[in-house]
Amino acid sequence: MAEQAPVVTIDGPGGAGKGTISGLMADRLRWHLLDSGALYRLTAQAALKHQVALDDEASLAKIAQTLDVAFPVENGQPRTLLEGDDVSRAIRTEQAGERASQVAALPSVRQALLQRQRDFCQAPGLIADGRDMGTVVFPSATLKIFLTASASERARRRHQQLQEAGVDASLSSLLKEIQARDARDTQREVAPLKPADDAITLDTTCLSIPEVVDRLTELLAQRGIAFGS
């Protein structure tokens, strides 16, 4: 499949920093941003709202095909609307992530969302954040990155985020949830979580956000793409 504009894919497990890095890169390049994980979270959220079981693949695929979603930005802050309701916070809980991981393992759901994801590719370019962006959705991407970090470090980061948000959480429980989600994502039959053959893997366990951004900036410059271009 040929992309219509330059695409940078940033794949990897939850907690590796994909969302933060993708947002920063899209903002600095002034490119479009695709948070593919949000689409799976929204599908799971819609299923919950309409009392559809997470193992009812046919019904979930229909939900994915007809998702009524919007991503408006107000006062510089992005929001996520599902059927007109603001679900920005609801889809970011650990439980929502677990449900999204279950939904993402279903082939019919992934197929239903495939074209929706590809439609985000528009000029001047796209930063695509997910788990199979470089392997399945944008196989001809300009640059493919696979961000990773140790499970313990990802659990620590999530624990810190929750504490800062005033949410009480068990670090050991978060670690178990992350390990279970990793196993499910890497072992599913359709589009398992793995680096593309031509992806560059960056371990962010001991890297700061600015260090990761600097490294991606260097990689883009090598391909003739600079911030503000």
Nearest to 31 by CA among 126, 105, 99: 126
Give residue for tokens 């408006």. 72
Residue 124 in marked binding region? no
Nearest CA to 42 out of 116, 138, 132 is that of 116
Is 16 annotated to bind a ligand? Reply is yes
Provide CB contacts within 8 A for 167, sequence distance 6+.
none
- Check the annotation: does 15 bind a ligand: yes
Q: Which residues of the chain have pLDDT under 50?
A: 1-2
pTM over 0.95: no
46 is in an annotated binding site: no
In angstroms, rounded to a whole number, what is the distance separating the alpha carbons of residues 120 and 116? 7
pLDDT of residue 3: 56
DSSP at 16: S
Nearest to 106 by CA among 70, 63, 146: 63
**Any binding-site annotation on 125?**
no
Q: Does the annotation place 18 within a ligand binding site?
A: yes
What's the full length of the chain, in residues? 229
7-219 has CATH 3.40.50.300 classification: yes
Percent of the chain clearing pLDDT 90 (strictly above): 65
Q: What pLDDT, on a 0 to 100 scale, did the predictor assign at position 142? A: 94
* 76 known member of a binding site: no
- Give the H/E segment covering residue 130: strand 126-130
pLDDT of residue 28: 86
